[in-house]
Chains A and B, each alone.
Chain A
Amino acid sequence: MNKGVAVTGMGIISAIGNNIEENYRSLLASNSGIGCSEFLKTTHTNIPVAEIKIANETLSKHLNLSKNHSFTRAALLGSLAAKEAIEQAGIKIDDETGFISGTSVGGMDATENHFKEFVAGKADNKRFIRSQHPGFTTEKMAEYFGITGFVSTISTACSSGANAIMLGARMIKAGKLKRVIVGGTDCLTKFTLNGFNALMILSNNPCRAFDEHRNGLNLGEGAAYLVLEAEDILNGKPVLGRLKGYGNANDAFHQTASSENGEGAYLAMQEAIKSAGITPGEIDYINAHGTATKNNDLSESRAIQRIFEAGIPDFSSTKAFTGHSLAAAGALEAVYSLLSLSKQEIYPNLNFSQAMPETGLKPVTEVKQKKLNLVLSNSFGFGGNCTSLIFAKDEA
């Protein structure tokens, strides 16, 4: 019997709160984190973003870092979230503790700030030269927690965090690790804001996932991590939930756009359901990718319709709370899925009013109490990378 891999700790920082408790309160109160950028120095001040309203200096103080540290913003956010997860799980870091982090642009914030200096040959901030590469951000975090064993970074754009969680579970199942910290982190950067803006998929208003009049996503930032532990070391420790299934597939359709029938999403969900050893009808709720772009939401809706032929489960996208935090999205939403399971409630899809005519699907739009045993969480990214995770309530 597939019990699933135990989650014993979780931590989060997002535009709707600096820890699990604050995030939970915001979800319950429908408080969105989308607003104007204050810390991201961009000329696009009219584009709404979901920013964490804390300066790097303050974040560094929270972590007691020395003055000349080389933590990128993604490493700062990541360390705070991982710290909460590690403390909750009460684990001791040892040789058999791994760390797998997803990040899309890593320390691009430092690169874009110092790029001109480096081009001019100025070496004052040379400690940030390697920070551009995602592995550097992960390594800084590993250093902070004293993790010396298996450390790796996954970068599959917006499905990175979900893939990191999947890999961690696979390593525990294969007996390669006893415990592993998994999740993702990404901060707001000019690089990504301008990239998505040039692609014309950013909305000028708070995003409206799955709505007929949805017109794009809001970029966000954040980090979330889970602690996964092997069965034989649990010793009666409280289990927050279990990762029961996962699926990874490629849409193989276009570098950035999703296929019309959502083939990659369909295959990822199908594989996740198969690996969990369940039937589609047993899924009680879907935390959808739901970015609120025309393309994603239609493609994902079609894939959901194909998988859940016998009846569509309750679903919602929480992107209108946190914005789309890229690599962190899958990790943030894993935390929300686990919160849904432990509180037995579904958090709403904000700003929805009218179903798209192609599918007629309506998400959950208000906090809903419901018996939940199995939650499916979707994350899809550029490069056709699609990943679905299935979390289960612990049956202890």
Chain B
Amino acid sequence: MNRQYIIRRLLIAIPSLLGISVILFGILAMAPGDPFEELATNPAIPPEVRMALRAKFGLDDPVWQRYLHWFAAMMQGDWGFSFQSRIDVDKLILQRLPVTLIVVGASQILAISVAIPVGVLAAVRPYSIFDQIASTFAMIGFSLPTFFTGLVLILVFSIQLDWLPFVYRADINATGWAFYAEHIKQSIMPVVVLGLAQAGTLVRFMRSSVLDVIRLDYVTTARSKGIGERKVIVRHVVRNALIPVVTLIALQLPAVFGGAIVTEQIFRVPGIGSLLIAAILANDTPVVMGVTFVFACLVVLFNLIADILYGWLDPRISFR
């Protein structure tokens, strides 16, 4: 792998991240609202307290000054602190990150492990009954929003059948197997909701990609050489068909973090998505900046990973 290429890509990422941070900060500064709004509507809290807090947290400074202040601190690894909880933003994010990674990661693994075999099988026998069923489910999967499927699952599995809890608890008072069992039990619904929404798109993509490749001459050649059908599909077809799918997965991953925001809200999963929502509602600028900046970094990172994976899947693609 070309080290120079990676370094150059990382350097290019710096100005884009800078630009993102300026735009984010600007939009947040322009948006209506005030982190101490709740204090303003409470008649028992004197306005001086709110004014003192605003002055203390530097909210009365001009926007550009606040941005430079934030930027300078960020350069030194200081993410600032939340206006709401007065806790350092990096601590808040680190508290929430593991849960998001577990839930989003599990849902991605579920989506990939369902979508790729189903997509390939559907493409190998196009317009068969299996293909029809798979396509129908894929259609349902990506057209139903997660807040809908989430609610349906809750109604069926929590309310009617009473099998699964619908409130996710990060702290579970149990050890050993019971701990894992509880965690798996409460993760099933959010992971399935997120995973199936992803799988829907992936199945369609995988299917059309395999269909494109399977008609190519080299596949016919491979078959005529007498290689078994299974081997043709796995070694020759799938590997090439995966290229566009890998891009899709890599580019969609940050979007999945975004999609997880809704799912996290429904199941009360304490991930960074729910942190972001709460921070936006409370006009907690440092936290919103911190979380969105993490998302921005993820987008840049996964773009890079997608590009590197290309080279591995298809050595003809060169890096310049």
A, B from the same assembly: no
On B, residues with C-beta under 8 Å from A are none
On A, residues with C-beta under 8 Å from B are none
